[in-house]
Amino acid sequence: MATQELQSLTPLRGIAAIWVICFHYIVVYFSAFHPEQISSIFNKGYLAVDMFFMLSGFVLSHVYWGTFSSETADAGHYWRFMGARVARLYPLHLFNLCQFLVATLAFAFYQYGSAGEFNAIPIHGARSLTALLANVAMLQGLKASELAWNYPAWSISVEFLAYFLFPLALPLIAQAGARMKSLLAGGAVLALCLFAHLGGGDFNQWDGPITLLRCLPEFVLGALLYAGLRDSLWPDWFKTDYAAAAIFSVQFMLLHFGSPDILIVVGFPAVILTAVMNAGRAAPILNAGPLVWLGDISYSLYLAHGFVQFLTTELLVSAGFQNTKNLSYANSLWLLLAMLGATLLMAAFTHREVEIVGRSRLRKLLSAWRERSNVTSRASG
């Protein structure tokens, strides 16, 4: 089972990516739109990050179950896992960071040429030299308000920190009995309740160590969900279209009416489970080509949309618009469509030319480095 690809997880990532992009563009960026007058779905788009965390725990458990679920795993397995995670995240993250740096310098030189003022990159604060070093080290999520260059990248930093614990946690989850798994799931939900309490019920908390209280329990819930799937703990009802219709409808209504975030988040495991297990008509619909494609480029989409927003802001300022509040509804709509189109095009390109290529080359580089280290160790021994 560990090598079998599970259905619907890729489309779910694509839907989550589009959801969070719509939140940042439609709700946060353009003041002319008021989607909450129709539905609260867009306003809840920040919860897509919570879906990402659960999906990551689920998928990594599926891929690495055979490696870390027993006592045979050693330090070599651990570092190979971390190398694979670095190869997955780092090339696109570094490319995106370089885009921000080049664009920032370009706009600074443009400002110098047009107004005689050069806005140097500051030492501290967002988009500073200190933040640049933090982003290179993937530590920006520890204090995103002061360390961000591409603000959505806070979540990949926090998730990267979770990777260090994952190979240690998976054996405990795999070897736990049904009662212990239930206790772990209950503990994870209680941790999310504490997070909700500390955030005043708002899960849109992305600044500081509190984000770990959001990420880690959701990561654990994803792993526990997969463990239950392997142990055939989930009833066959989840395979039916009735289950899919019921679960998706309940989640839609909770989102539409703006229900408390904690209720929506604790419902995500049921969404993931019914999507993976469905054996009826829902699965072909969810796994339609466009949704699979969006899922394939979801990581590129997620990072690209912050850069597109940054470029749009700088271009608006250069044109005399200090913020989008000065734009009419019609102009906001056209600019929104242009931003969405630019994000899709950029993501399609970077997924193919940076994400895939960079991952392959970095994996080969890390593999060659490990091989040289092993040869050196054997020679010295």
Tell me which H or E stretch contains 55. Answer: helix 48-68
> Which backbone phi and psi does 248 adopt, to 5 degrees?
-65, -35
User: What are the respective helix, strand and coil percentages of the chain, to the nearest 5?
Assistant: 80, 0, 20
Q: Give the relative orientation of helices 268-277 and 9-22 as an angle to the nearest 10 degrees.
A: 140
Tell me which H or E stretch contains 105. Answer: helix 75-115
Structure-block tokens of residue 316: 């608006």
* Per-residue confidence (pLDDT) for residue 319, from 0 to 100: 82
* Per-residue confidence (pLDDT) for residue 377, from 0 to 100: 59
- DSSP type of residue 122: P
Could you tell me the CA-to-CA distances from 115 to 38, 105, 119, 219, 318 in Å, in that order?
A: 44, 15, 11, 49, 11
Q: What is the pLDDT of residues 193-203, one digit of tens each?
A: 999 999 999 99
Round to whole Å and give the CA distance between 74 and 305.
39
User: One-letter amino acid identity for 94?
Assistant: L
The length of the chain, given as a count of residues: 381
- DSSP type of residue 245: H
User: Left, alpha or beta for 125 (phi > 0: left; psi -120 to 50: alpha)?
Assistant: left
Structure-block tokens of residue 381: 């021994």
Could you tell me the CA-to-CA distances from 203 to 47, 142, 159 in Å, in that order?
A: 7, 17, 16
* Per-residue confidence (pLDDT) for residue 132, from 0 to 100: 96
* Per-residue confidence (pLDDT) for residue 112, from 0 to 100: 85
> Closest Cα partner for 43 from 254, 255, 203?
255
- Please name the residue ranges forming H helices in 176-322: 178-198, 212-230, 241-256, 261-265, 268-277, 282-286, 289-296, 298-318
Could you tell me the CA-to-CA distances from 278 to 6, 11, 108, 135, 283 in Å, in that order?
A: 11, 14, 53, 40, 6
pTM value is 0.94
CA dihedral 254, 258, 259, 264 (to 10 degrees): 60
pLDDT of the chain, 381 residues: tens digit per residue: 345 778 999 999 999 999 999 999 999 999 899 999 999 999 999 999 999 999 999 999 999 998 887 666 678 889 999 999 999 999 999 999 999 999 999 999 988 888 788 888 999 999 999 999 999 999 999 899 999 999 999 999 999 999 999 999 999 999 999 999 999 999 999 999 999 999 999 999 999 899 999 999 999 999 999 999 999 999 999 999 999 999 999 999 999 999 999 999 999 999 999 999 999 999 999 999 999 999 999 999 999 999 999 999 999 988 888 778 888 999 999 999 999 999 999 999 999 999 999 999 999 998 888 777 666 656 665
> Closest Cα partner for 63 from 223, 184, 302?
223
> Closest Cα partner for 164 from 194, 131, 141?
141
Round to whole Å and give the CA distance between 310 and 328.
20
Round to whole Å and give the CA distance between 150 and 154.
8
Round to whole Å and give the CA distance between 340 and 58.
29
> Which backbone phi and psi does 62 adopt, to 5 degrees?
-65, -45
Angle at 63 between CA 271 and CA 1, to 5 degrees: 80
Round to whole Å and give the CA distance between 205 and 207.
6
CB 345 within 8 A of CB 297: no
CB 121 within 8 A of CB 111: no
Q: Determine how many CB atoms are found less than 10 A away from the CB of residue 78.
A: 16
User: Is the torsion defined by CA of 183, 159, 155, 273 positive or negative?
Assistant: negative
